[in-house]
A and B are shown apart, each in its own frame.
Chain A
Amino acid sequence: DAGVIQSPRHEVTEMGQEVTLRCKPISGHNSLFWYRQTMMRGLELLIYFNNNVPIDDSGMPEDRFSAKMPNASFSTLKIQPSEPRDSAVYFCATHRDRGRDTQYFGPGTRLTVL
């Protein structure tokens, strides 16, 4: 099993540019979570999907952030336009949504907005 796959691993962009982060969940996992890690706030949940449907997006910081899950094998997190304060590590995690099944994290995307 390849685990959760995220791309790109690193992204450097200029303020105002659009950024798209990608995630491929573990096959058979039907819940997908996007997190952001910062020093000040630790790991914050941005949004999560169950069976491709967004369930809770209360953590999405503002309208510049959007996420989609068009099918069970792929999800994107888009920031448009990006700002320097968006610089962080973004993680995708998935689980099977059976009872208290653990979440499995991808390696993360380190985003730097100049």
Chain B
Amino acid sequence: DQQVKQNSPSLSVQEGRISILNCDYTNSMFDYFLWYKKYPAEGPTFLISISSIKDKNEDGRFTVFLNKSAKHLSLHIVPSQPGDSAVYFCAASGTASKLTFGTGTRLQVTL
């Protein structure tokens, strides 16, 4: 039973364009959401997060949007760069320390 779902296993975007990665969750107790980025042969690294009291958080080229009523969040990368090519994991947590991750979306940014 996947409580965090990333329904697009892969996404291809041209350099300079916007990348939009989507994530849905089912557990209404989740109140904190994160995106991690993973390169091959490396562990995931933290990218950006958002608390449920906000609907948007921005950090440079990366913006995360949260729609609590739809239980949906998205990560926007603009402009996309070849170095952004990686697997992106959405994660969520409630009151405990543990994170529940999605299955990941592989982003390829083409020249």
Interface residues of A, Cβ cutoff 8 Å to B: 4, 31, 33, 35, 39-45, 48, 50, 55-56, 91, 93, 95, 97, 100, 102-108
Number of A-B contacts (CB under 8 A): 57
Q: Is B99 an interface residue (CB 8 A)?
A: yes
**Size bin of chain B's contact surface:** 20 to 34
Interface pair B49/A45, CB less than 8 Å apart: no
On whether the beta carbons of B104 and A105 are closer than 8 Å, the reply is no
Determine if B45 and A105 form an interchain contact, defined as CB atoms under 8 angstroms apart: yes
CA distance A104 to B46 in the complex (A): 8
Report A-chain residues with C-beta under 8 Å of the C-beta of B93: 100
Main secondary structure of the interface of A (DSSP, over half): strand
CB of B100 within 8 Å of the partner chain = yes
- Inter-subunit contact B43/A45 (CB<8 Å): no
Given contacts A45-B100, A105-B44, 15 further A-B contacts (CB under 8 A): A4-B43, A41-B103, A42-B102, A42-B103, A43-B44, A43-B89, A43-B91, A43-B104, A91-B43, A100-B32, A102-B34, A104-B46, A107-B41, A107-B43, A108-B41
Shortest Cβ-Cβ A-B pairs, 4 listed: A105-B43, A42-B103, A43-B101, A102-B46
In the assembled complex, the CB of B32 is this many whole angstroms from the nearest CB of chain A, namely 6
**Closest A residue, CB atoms, query B46:** A102
Given A43-B89, A103-B46: A50 and B103 interface contact (C-beta under 8 Å): no
A45 pairs with B44, CB closer than 8 A = no
Instruction: List 24 A–B pairs whose Cβ atoms lie within 8 Å, in order of A's numbering.
Output: A33-B99, A35-B101, A42-B6, A42-B89, A42-B102, A42-B104, A43-B89, A43-B101, A43-B104, A45-B98, A45-B99, A45-B100, A48-B98, A50-B97, A91-B44, A93-B43, A97-B97, A100-B49, A102-B34, A103-B46, A103-B99, A105-B44, A105-B45, A108-B41
